[in-house]
Chains A and B, each alone.
Chain A
Protein backbone atom coordinates (compact mmCIF):
# COMPACT_ATOMS: atom_id res chain seq x y z
CA UNK A 1 0.00 0.00 0.00
CA UNK A 2 1.25 3.48 -0.77
CA UNK A 3 -0.15 6.63 0.73
CA UNK A 4 1.16 9.31 2.93
CA UNK A 5 -0.10 10.52 6.22
CA UNK A 6 0.56 14.16 6.93
CA UNK A 7 -0.10 15.93 10.20
CA UNK A 8 -2.47 18.83 9.81
CA UNK A 9 -1.03 22.25 10.60
CA UNK A 10 -2.54 24.12 13.54
CA UNK A 11 -3.27 27.64 12.35
CA UNK A 12 -5.79 30.35 13.34
CA UNK A 13 -9.26 30.05 11.76
CA UNK A 14 -8.80 33.16 9.61
CA UNK A 15 -5.48 31.97 8.22
CA UNK A 16 -5.33 31.85 4.41
CA UNK A 17 -3.78 28.71 3.00
CA UNK A 18 -0.26 28.47 1.66
CA UNK A 19 -1.20 26.18 -1.19
CA UNK A 20 2.15 24.51 -1.62
CA UNK A 21 2.42 23.46 2.02
CA UNK A 22 1.01 19.92 2.30
CA UNK A 23 0.32 20.28 6.02
CA UNK A 24 -2.17 23.07 5.26
CA UNK A 25 -3.89 21.19 2.46
CA UNK A 26 -4.23 17.48 3.09
CA UNK A 27 -4.38 16.28 -0.47
CA UNK A 28 -2.28 13.14 -0.50
CA UNK A 29 -4.83 10.76 0.87
CA UNK A 30 -5.02 8.33 -2.04
CA UNK A 31 -4.19 4.71 -1.31
CA UNK A 32 -3.05 2.33 -4.04
CA UNK A 33 -2.77 -1.42 -3.57
CA UNK A 34 -0.09 -2.65 -6.01
CA UNK A 35 -1.33 -6.24 -5.69
CA UNK A 36 -4.72 -5.28 -7.08
CA UNK A 37 -3.38 -2.87 -9.73
CA UNK A 38 -3.07 -4.36 -13.21
CA UNK A 39 -1.62 -1.20 -14.80
CA UNK A 40 -4.64 -0.57 -17.06
CA UNK A 41 -4.06 3.22 -16.76
CA UNK A 42 -7.77 4.09 -16.47
CA UNK A 43 -7.33 5.84 -13.12
CA UNK A 44 -4.43 7.88 -14.53
CA UNK A 45 -6.64 8.94 -17.45
CA UNK A 46 -9.72 9.89 -15.45
CA UNK A 47 -8.08 11.67 -12.48
CA UNK A 48 -9.19 15.32 -12.76
CA UNK A 49 -6.25 16.50 -10.65
CA UNK A 50 -3.78 14.49 -12.74
CA UNK A 51 -1.89 13.24 -9.70
CA UNK A 52 -1.50 9.57 -10.72
CA UNK A 53 1.14 8.02 -12.96
CA UNK A 54 2.34 4.58 -14.05
CA UNK A 55 5.76 3.20 -13.17
CA UNK A 56 7.70 -0.02 -13.43
CA UNK A 57 8.66 -2.34 -16.31
CA UNK A 58 6.40 -2.46 -19.37
CA UNK A 59 4.98 -5.89 -18.58
CA UNK A 60 4.24 -5.02 -14.94
CA UNK A 61 3.02 -1.43 -14.81
CA UNK A 62 1.57 -0.09 -11.56
CA UNK A 63 -0.13 3.18 -10.68
CA UNK A 64 1.26 5.48 -8.04
CA UNK A 65 0.95 9.05 -6.78
CA UNK A 66 3.12 11.64 -8.47
CA UNK A 67 5.84 13.09 -6.30
CA UNK A 68 4.28 16.58 -6.33
CA UNK A 69 0.72 15.33 -5.94
CA UNK A 70 -1.58 18.14 -4.88
CA UNK A 71 -5.14 18.76 -5.97
CA UNK A 72 -6.87 15.49 -5.03
CA UNK A 73 -10.47 16.43 -4.17
CA UNK A 74 -11.36 12.88 -3.06
CA UNK A 75 -13.84 12.50 -5.94
CA UNK A 76 -12.98 8.78 -6.10
CA UNK A 77 -13.23 8.73 -9.91
CA UNK A 78 -10.18 6.44 -9.76
CA UNK A 79 -12.02 3.96 -7.57
CA UNK A 80 -15.14 4.15 -9.74
CA UNK A 81 -13.26 3.05 -12.88
CA UNK A 82 -10.91 0.57 -11.19
CA UNK A 83 -12.07 -2.98 -11.93
CA UNK A 84 -9.81 -4.40 -9.22
CA UNK A 85 -10.82 -1.83 -6.58
CA UNK A 86 -7.11 -1.17 -6.00
CA UNK A 87 -7.13 2.61 -5.75
CA UNK A 88 -9.21 4.96 -3.66
CA UNK A 89 -9.20 8.19 -1.74
CA UNK A 90 -9.13 7.01 1.85
CA UNK A 91 -10.07 10.23 3.56
CA UNK A 92 -11.78 13.46 2.50
CA UNK A 93 -9.46 16.26 1.47
CA UNK A 94 -9.10 18.95 4.08
CA UNK A 95 -7.43 22.29 4.65
CA UNK A 96 -6.22 24.26 7.59
CA UNK A 97 -7.46 27.66 8.77
CA UNK A 98 -10.25 29.40 6.87
CA UNK A 99 -11.02 26.40 4.63
CA UNK A 100 -11.02 23.74 7.32
CA UNK A 101 -13.78 21.17 6.73
CA UNK A 102 -16.37 21.34 9.49
CA UNK A 103 -19.25 19.17 10.64
CA UNK A 104 -18.24 16.17 8.55
CA UNK A 105 -17.94 12.51 9.50
CA UNK A 106 -16.31 9.41 8.06
CA UNK A 107 -16.49 8.30 4.45
CA UNK A 108 -19.44 5.97 3.95
CA UNK A 109 -20.91 3.96 1.11
CA UNK A 110 -24.59 4.51 0.30
CA UNK A 111 -26.59 3.34 3.29
CA UNK A 112 -30.07 1.85 3.16
CA UNK A 113 -32.63 3.11 5.64
Chain B
Protein backbone atom coordinates (compact mmCIF):
# COMPACT_ATOMS: atom_id res chain seq x y z
CA UNK B 1 0.00 0.00 0.00
CA UNK B 2 1.30 3.43 -0.89
CA UNK B 3 1.94 6.07 1.74
CA UNK B 4 -0.79 8.26 0.28
CA UNK B 5 -4.14 6.60 0.85
CA UNK B 6 -6.68 7.14 -1.90
CA UNK B 7 -10.28 7.89 -0.96
CA UNK B 8 -11.41 4.39 -1.99
CA UNK B 9 -8.72 2.81 0.14
CA UNK B 10 -9.99 4.64 3.21
CA UNK B 11 -13.54 3.59 2.51
CA UNK B 12 -12.42 -0.05 2.13
CA UNK B 13 -10.45 0.22 5.34
CA UNK B 14 -13.49 1.56 7.16
CA UNK B 15 -15.62 -1.36 5.92
CA UNK B 16 -12.96 -3.87 6.99
CA UNK B 17 -12.78 -2.37 10.49
CA UNK B 18 -16.56 -2.37 10.81
CA UNK B 19 -16.80 -5.98 9.67
CA UNK B 20 -14.11 -7.01 12.16
CA UNK B 21 -15.91 -5.14 14.93
CA UNK B 22 -19.22 -6.78 14.08
CA UNK B 23 -17.59 -10.22 14.03
CA UNK B 24 -16.06 -9.66 17.47
CA UNK B 25 -19.44 -8.49 18.78
CA UNK B 26 -18.17 -4.98 19.54
CA UNK B 27 -20.49 -2.00 19.26
CA UNK B 28 -20.34 -0.35 15.87
CA UNK B 29 -18.46 2.92 15.78
CA UNK B 30 -20.80 5.87 15.68
CA UNK B 31 -21.35 7.19 12.17
CA UNK B 32 -22.36 10.70 11.26
CA UNK B 33 -25.85 10.97 9.81
CA UNK B 34 -24.62 12.59 6.62
CA UNK B 35 -24.95 9.39 4.60
CA UNK B 36 -28.63 9.10 5.46
CA UNK B 37 -29.72 12.55 4.27
CA UNK B 38 -32.00 12.48 1.22
CA UNK B 39 -32.26 15.53 -1.06
CA UNK B 40 -34.77 18.04 0.33
CA UNK B 41 -34.81 16.46 3.80
CA UNK B 42 -35.97 18.46 6.81
CA UNK B 43 -33.56 20.63 8.80
CA UNK B 44 -31.66 18.81 11.50
CA UNK B 45 -31.14 20.33 14.96
CA UNK B 46 -27.98 22.22 14.04
CA UNK B 47 -29.49 23.64 10.85
CA UNK B 48 -32.61 24.59 12.78
CA UNK B 49 -30.54 26.50 15.35
CA UNK B 50 -28.71 28.32 12.55
CA UNK B 51 -31.92 29.27 10.73
CA UNK B 52 -33.82 30.47 13.80
CA UNK B 53 -30.96 32.43 15.34
CA UNK B 54 -31.59 36.15 15.45
CA UNK B 55 -29.44 38.94 16.81
CA UNK B 56 -31.38 39.84 19.97
CA UNK B 57 -31.14 43.43 21.11
CA UNK B 58 -33.90 43.54 23.74
CA UNK B 59 -33.67 41.30 26.77
CA UNK B 60 -35.78 40.48 29.80
CA UNK B 61 -34.32 41.60 33.11
CA UNK B 62 -34.10 38.02 34.42
CA UNK B 63 -30.57 36.68 34.88
CA UNK B 64 -29.50 33.54 33.00
CA UNK B 65 -28.68 30.62 35.36
CA UNK B 66 -24.95 30.09 35.85
CA UNK B 67 -24.98 26.50 34.59
CA UNK B 68 -26.37 27.61 31.22
CA UNK B 69 -23.57 30.12 30.73
CA UNK B 70 -21.04 27.42 31.68
CA UNK B 71 -22.66 25.12 29.15
CA UNK B 72 -22.33 27.80 26.44
CA UNK B 73 -18.66 28.46 27.30
CA UNK B 74 -17.96 24.74 27.16
CA UNK B 75 -19.10 24.62 23.52
CA UNK B 76 -16.85 27.61 22.76
CA UNK B 77 -13.94 25.65 24.21
CA UNK B 78 -14.49 22.85 21.68
CA UNK B 79 -14.26 25.07 18.60
CA UNK B 80 -11.70 24.33 15.90
CA UNK B 81 -8.72 26.67 15.72
CA UNK B 82 -5.66 27.06 13.54
CA UNK B 83 -2.97 24.66 14.72
CA UNK B 84 -5.30 23.89 17.66
CA UNK B 85 -3.82 26.97 19.33
CA UNK B 86 -7.15 27.98 20.93
CA UNK B 87 -6.21 31.67 21.05
CA UNK B 88 -9.11 32.76 23.25
CA UNK B 89 -9.98 33.55 26.81
CA UNK B 90 -13.39 34.49 28.22
CA UNK B 91 -14.47 37.18 30.64
CA UNK B 92 -18.02 36.77 31.93
CA UNK B 93 -19.63 39.92 33.33
CA UNK B 94 -22.90 39.37 35.18
CA UNK B 95 -22.57 42.37 37.47
CA UNK B 96 -25.15 45.07 36.69
CA UNK B 97 -22.93 47.91 37.91
CA UNK B 98 -19.96 46.66 35.88
CA UNK B 99 -22.01 46.33 32.67
CA UNK B 100 -23.42 49.82 33.26
CA UNK B 101 -19.90 51.19 33.63
CA UNK B 102 -18.76 49.49 30.42
CA UNK B 103 -21.83 50.86 28.66
CA UNK B 104 -21.19 54.36 29.97
CA UNK B 105 -17.61 54.34 28.74
CA UNK B 106 -18.56 53.17 25.22
CA UNK B 107 -21.23 55.88 25.01
CA UNK B 108 -18.66 58.51 26.03
CA UNK B 109 -16.27 57.30 23.29
CA UNK B 110 -19.05 57.37 20.68
CA UNK B 111 -19.97 60.91 21.74
CA UNK B 112 -16.36 61.98 21.24
CA UNK B 113 -16.28 60.25 17.86
CA UNK B 114 -19.47 61.89 16.58
CA UNK B 115 -18.09 65.28 17.57
CA UNK B 116 -15.10 64.73 15.27
CA UNK B 117 -16.65 62.73 12.41
CA UNK B 118 -20.36 63.56 12.19
CA UNK B 119 -20.45 66.46 9.76
CA UNK B 120 -24.25 66.28 9.59
CA UNK B 121 -24.29 68.17 12.92
CA UNK B 122 -23.46 71.33 10.99
CA UNK B 123 -25.41 73.09 8.23
CA UNK B 124 -24.54 72.60 4.57
CA UNK B 125 -21.88 74.96 3.31
CA UNK B 126 -20.53 75.83 6.77
CA UNK B 127 -16.80 75.83 7.46
CA UNK B 128 -17.13 73.36 10.35
CA UNK B 129 -18.98 70.92 8.14
CA UNK B 130 -16.26 71.06 5.49
CA UNK B 131 -13.53 70.59 8.12
CA UNK B 132 -15.23 67.59 9.75
CA UNK B 133 -16.13 66.02 6.41
CA UNK B 134 -12.45 66.18 5.43
CA UNK B 135 -11.55 64.43 8.69
CA UNK B 136 -14.23 61.77 8.17
CA UNK B 137 -13.04 61.09 4.64
CA UNK B 138 -9.46 60.72 5.85
CA UNK B 139 -10.49 58.21 8.53
CA UNK B 140 -12.71 56.51 5.99
CA UNK B 141 -9.74 55.96 3.69
CA UNK B 142 -7.58 54.64 6.51
CA UNK B 143 -10.17 52.34 8.06
CA UNK B 144 -12.96 51.71 5.54
CA UNK B 145 -14.44 48.85 7.57
CA UNK B 146 -14.66 50.71 10.88
CA UNK B 147 -16.17 53.74 9.16
CA UNK B 148 -18.59 51.80 7.00
CA UNK B 149 -21.96 53.60 6.85
CA UNK B 150 -23.66 51.03 9.10
CA UNK B 151 -21.34 51.43 12.12
CA UNK B 152 -21.33 55.18 11.41
CA UNK B 153 -25.09 55.17 11.92
CA UNK B 154 -24.70 53.00 15.02
CA UNK B 155 -22.08 55.35 16.50
CA UNK B 156 -24.54 58.22 16.12
CA UNK B 157 -27.37 56.18 17.66
CA UNK B 158 -25.18 55.18 20.62
CA UNK B 159 -24.09 58.78 21.17
CA UNK B 160 -27.73 59.93 21.09
CA UNK B 161 -28.66 57.25 23.64
CA UNK B 162 -31.01 55.55 21.15
CA UNK B 163 -29.07 52.30 21.14
CA UNK B 164 -27.45 50.45 24.04
CA UNK B 165 -24.03 48.98 23.25
CA UNK B 166 -24.50 45.83 25.36
CA UNK B 167 -28.29 45.87 24.83
CA UNK B 168 -28.88 45.93 28.62
CA UNK B 169 -28.28 42.20 28.68
CA UNK B 170 -27.99 40.43 32.06
CA UNK B 171 -24.80 38.62 30.99
CA UNK B 172 -21.98 39.80 28.73
CA UNK B 173 -19.27 37.38 27.58
CA UNK B 174 -16.11 39.16 26.43
CA UNK B 175 -13.99 37.07 24.08
CA UNK B 176 -10.31 37.93 24.33
CA UNK B 177 -7.94 37.06 21.52
CA UNK B 178 -4.40 35.88 22.17
CA UNK B 179 -2.41 37.96 19.71
CA UNK B 180 0.27 35.24 19.52
CA UNK B 181 -2.19 32.75 18.02
CA UNK B 182 -1.36 30.64 14.98
CA UNK B 183 -2.28 32.18 11.64
CA UNK B 184 -5.22 34.56 11.98
CA UNK B 185 -6.48 34.46 15.61
CA UNK B 186 -9.48 36.67 14.81
CA UNK B 187 -10.92 33.94 12.60
CA UNK B 188 -10.71 31.48 15.51
CA UNK B 189 -12.50 34.03 17.70
CA UNK B 190 -15.32 34.06 15.17
CA UNK B 191 -15.52 30.28 15.24
CA UNK B 192 -15.59 29.92 19.03
CA UNK B 193 -18.15 32.72 19.25
CA UNK B 194 -20.38 31.08 16.67
CA UNK B 195 -20.29 27.84 18.64
CA UNK B 196 -21.45 29.72 21.73
CA UNK B 197 -24.13 31.74 19.95
CA UNK B 198 -25.66 28.64 18.35
CA UNK B 199 -25.55 26.78 21.66
CA UNK B 200 -27.35 29.68 23.35
CA UNK B 201 -29.91 29.65 20.56
CA UNK B 202 -30.56 25.94 21.04
CA UNK B 203 -31.06 26.56 24.79
CA UNK B 204 -33.73 29.19 24.09
CA UNK B 205 -31.49 32.15 24.90
CA UNK B 206 -30.93 35.26 22.80
CA UNK B 207 -27.51 36.62 21.88
CA UNK B 208 -25.99 39.51 20.02
CA UNK B 209 -22.42 40.07 18.90
CA UNK B 210 -21.07 43.35 20.21
CA UNK B 211 -18.15 44.56 18.11
CA UNK B 212 -18.24 47.93 19.87
CA UNK B 213 -16.86 46.13 22.95
CA UNK B 214 -13.43 46.83 21.41
CA UNK B 215 -13.89 50.46 22.44
CA UNK B 216 -13.17 49.32 26.02
CA UNK B 217 -9.56 48.72 24.99
CA UNK B 218 -8.76 52.39 25.59
CA UNK B 219 -9.82 52.32 29.25
CA UNK B 220 -6.86 51.08 31.34
CA UNK B 221 -8.83 51.02 34.59
CA UNK B 222 -11.63 48.86 33.17
CA UNK B 223 -9.15 46.56 31.42
CA UNK B 224 -7.34 45.99 34.70
CA UNK B 225 -10.52 45.06 36.54
CA UNK B 226 -11.64 42.82 33.67
CA UNK B 227 -8.18 41.15 33.74
CA UNK B 228 -7.43 41.98 30.11
CA UNK B 229 -3.66 42.27 29.65
CA UNK B 230 -1.24 41.57 26.79
CA UNK B 231 -0.98 39.30 24.88
CA UNK B 232 -4.76 39.27 25.23
CA UNK B 233 -6.99 41.89 23.67
CA UNK B 234 -10.76 42.30 23.58
CA UNK B 235 -11.82 40.92 20.20
CA UNK B 236 -15.58 40.63 20.50
CA UNK B 237 -18.35 40.38 23.06
CA UNK B 238 -21.60 38.45 23.13
CA UNK B 239 -24.63 39.70 25.05
CA UNK B 240 -26.71 36.83 26.46
CA UNK B 241 -30.19 36.86 27.97
CA UNK B 242 -33.81 35.87 27.55
CA UNK B 243 -35.27 37.57 24.46
CA UNK B 244 -38.38 39.74 24.60
CA UNK B 245 -41.17 38.48 22.36
CA UNK B 246 -40.75 35.39 20.23
CA UNK B 247 -38.20 36.36 17.60
CA UNK B 248 -37.64 32.81 16.42
CA UNK B 249 -41.25 32.22 15.40
CA UNK B 250 -40.42 32.57 11.73
CA UNK B 251 -37.35 32.29 9.58
CA UNK B 252 -36.46 35.33 7.53
CA UNK B 253 -35.05 35.78 4.07
CA UNK B 254 -31.46 36.73 3.45
CA UNK B 255 -29.76 37.85 0.31
CA UNK B 256 -28.24 35.20 -1.91
CA UNK B 257 -24.62 35.38 -2.97
CA UNK B 258 -22.82 34.50 -6.13
CA UNK B 259 -21.36 31.00 -6.01
CA UNK B 260 -18.70 30.07 -8.54
CA UNK B 261 -19.01 26.34 -9.11
CA UNK B 262 -16.16 24.56 -10.87
CA UNK B 263 -16.88 20.98 -11.78
CA UNK B 264 -16.19 18.62 -14.65
CA UNK B 265 -13.90 21.07 -16.42
CA UNK B 266 -16.42 23.93 -16.61
CA UNK B 267 -17.55 26.87 -14.58
CA UNK B 268 -21.08 27.84 -13.54
CA UNK B 269 -22.43 30.79 -11.59
CA UNK B 270 -25.05 29.80 -9.03
CA UNK B 271 -27.01 31.77 -6.45
- Chain A interface (Cβ < 8 Å from any Cβ of B): 16-17, 19-20, 25, 42, 45-46, 48-50, 70-71, 73-77, 79-81, 83, 85, 88, 92-93, 95, 98-99, 103-110, 112-113
Considering only CB atoms and an 8 Å cut-off, how many residues of chain B contact the other chain?
40
Residues of B within 8 A of A88 (CB): 252-253
Q: A25-B149, A71-B150 are in contact. Are A80 and B157 (CB under 8 A)?
A: no
- State whether B149 touches A76 (Cβ < 8 A): no
Q: How many A-B residue contacts, CB cutoff 8 Å?
A: 102
B residues within 8 Å of A by Cβ?
A: 39-43, 51, 54-55, 57-58, 120, 137, 140-141, 144, 148-150, 152-154, 157, 162-163, 244-258, 271
Closest 10 CB pairs of A and B: A105-B256, A76-B252, A105-B271, A103-B258, A71-B153, A107-B253, A92-B255, A81-B245, A112-B40, A80-B247
| Residue from A49, A85, A105 within 8 A of B257 (CB atoms) | A105
Are A81 and B246 closer than 8 Å at their CB atoms?
yes
User: Given contacts A19-B120, A20-B120, A106-B271, are A83 and B249 in contact (CB under 8 A)?
Assistant: yes
In contact, B149 and A113 (Cβ under 8 angstroms): no
Q: Can you name the residue of chain A whose Cβ is closest to the Cβ of B270? A: A105
Cβ B149 vs Cβ A95 within 8 A:
yes
A42-B245, A88-B252 provided; 11 other pairs, C-beta below 8 A? A45-B244, A46-B58, A48-B55, A71-B150, A71-B157, A73-B150, A77-B57, A81-B247, A98-B144, A108-B253, A108-B255
> In the assembly, what is the distance between CA of A92 and CA of B254, in Å?
8
Query: What residues on B are CB-neighbors of A45 within 8 Å?
Result: 58, 244-245
The answer to whether B251 and A81 have CB atoms under 8 Å apart is: no
CB-based contact A80/B163 at 8 Å: no
Please tell me if the beta carbons of B144 and A50 are within 8 angstroms of each other in the complex. no
User: In the bound complex, do residue A112 and residue B41 qualify as a contact, i.e. CB atoms below 8 Å apart?
Assistant: yes
Q: What separation, in Å, do the CA atoms of A93 and B137 have in the docked complex?
A: 21
Q: Using CB atoms, name the residue of chain A closest to B48.
A: A110
* A-B contact list, 13 entries, CB within 8 Å: A16-B137, A19-B149, A19-B152, A19-B153, A46-B245, A48-B154, A49-B153, A70-B153, A74-B255, A109-B253, A110-B43, A112-B39, A112-B42
User: Do A108 and B257 have beta carbons less than 8 Å apart?
Assistant: no
Q: Do A81 and B39 touch across chains, with their CB atoms under 8 A apart?
A: no
Chain A residue numbers with a CB within 8 Å of B39 are 112-113
Per the bound structure, the CA–CA distance linking A106 and B255 in Å amounts to 5
